[in-house]
Amino acid sequence: MPIHLKNLRCLALLLLLLPALAWPWSRYGHEVVGHLAMHELSPEARAGVIALLGDDNLARIGSWADEVRSERPETGPLHYVNGPTDALHPREEDFALAQGNVYSAILGYAPRIVDAELSVTERAEALKFLVHFMGDLHQPLHAGFAEDRGANRVPVLYRGELINLHRYWDNEILDPHRERYRASELAAILYHRHSDAERTAWASEFDVRAWVVEARAYLFNGLYPLPRRDHGGDGDEAIMVLDDSYREVWLPVAERQLARAGARLAAGLNALFEAGDSPYPEAPVTIPRPLVSER
């Protein structure tokens, strides 16, 4: 339960003043999504992935978009999508922001993967972005609220350390698995936990907007351990301690979101490489091109 920590107040305020970057699932989480997707690739998709990535695979390149983010600042807004704090569904303008977001990034990069007019370099980059952003979209706080920067500005106390709620969901919520399993092992566990019928249902439609709403629903159903409010006020700060009771409720949700991301990534790649065309609608905005193109 929340406790008043006067001696942490200054640290909390400092935390809120730091730049709020919407980092996604940790490398571990993205690797899990990649391994899950590889379980369900069709022969055509597997061959297409190998042709573009060579010795790499979907798990190893899962965090590539984070690794190039500092040198590709134009891709920063593509890691998340925001919506209103008082409505489950984002507005039309939220999906169609000129700078792009994770919704338009998935729609925009997917067709580039199989565009024969593009270089192998461009197509491989598009694949790396799609793999990463599919994982990002399924982290609920990447479909969050602009006012708190996807909960980057919501301080919490975890194992005696003051962090923020977004970071907890990116990293610490998966600690029990990271300490026990390799990413490939956790992927196998999650794959076999869910039935073929469940995975088919998750991947039966390529409705990226519905996936955004699905992720946002958790924000309105207890994912925030404190009511959303201005944590930078003048009063005593109520800092939520995230203990095992919080994880017991929300770790299964994180696991389900990873499994959904893997199933939907595989279905998208299967459709792309089998049909040679994108199963998703056209992106509402133009997304960034590669810095270097080899033709």
Q: What is the DSSP string of 5-25?
A: -GGGHHHHHHHHHS------S
158 in a structural domain? yes
Whether residue 10 is predicted with pLDDT greater than 70 in this model: the reply is: no
Distance CA 114, CA 1 (A): 50
**Nearest C-alpha neighbor of 33 from the set 133, 181, 144, 102:** 133
Mean pLDDT of 88-107: 97
Residues 162-217: tens digit of each pLDDT: 999 999 999 999 999 999 999 999 999 999 999 999 999 999 999 999 999 999 99
Q: Is the pLDDT of residue 265 over 70?
A: yes
Domain that holds residue 109: 3-275
On whether residue 289 sits in a domain, the answer given is no
Please indicate whether residue 238 or residue 69 has the higher confidence score (pLDDT): 69
Q: What one-character DSSP code corresponds to residue 228?
A: -
User: Does residue 68 belong to any structural domain of this protein?
Assistant: yes
Question: Which whole number is the average pLDDT over 121-145?
Answer: 97
Could you tell me if residue 261 is inside a domain? Answer: yes
pLDDT at 136 over 80: yes
For residue 11, is pLDDT > 50?
no
Average pLDDT score, the chain: 89
The percentage of residues in the chain with a pLDDT greater than 70, rounded to a whole number, is 85
What was the pLDDT predicted at 238? Answer: 67
* Residue 291 domain-assigned (yes or no): no
**pLDDT grade, residue 26 (50/70/90)?**
confident
3-state secondary structure of 4: strand
Residue 12 has pLDDT above 80, yes or no: no
User: pTM score, two decimals?
Assistant: 0.89
**Mean local confidence (pLDDT), 151-157:** 94
User: Residue 288: inside a domain, yes or no?
Assistant: no
- pLDDT tops 90 at residue 6: no
Residues 6 or more apart from 225 whose CB is under 8 A from it? 2, 156, 165, 240, 242, 246
Please identify which residue in the block is written with the tokens 């565009």: 115
287 in any annotated domain: no
Overall domain count for the chain: 1
Q: What is the pLDDT of residues 229-261, one digit of tens each?
A: 444 444 455 688 898 999 999 999 999 999 999
Q: How far is CA 147 from the centre of its chain?
A: 19
Which is more confidently placed, 275 or 23?
A: 275
pLDDT above 80 (res 90): yes
CATH number for the domain harbouring residue 16: 1.10.575.10
Q: Helices 120-137 and 208-217: crossing angle, nearest 10°?
A: 30
Q: What are phi and psi of 162, to 5 degrees?
A: -85, 115
Q: Is residue 121 part of a domain?
A: yes
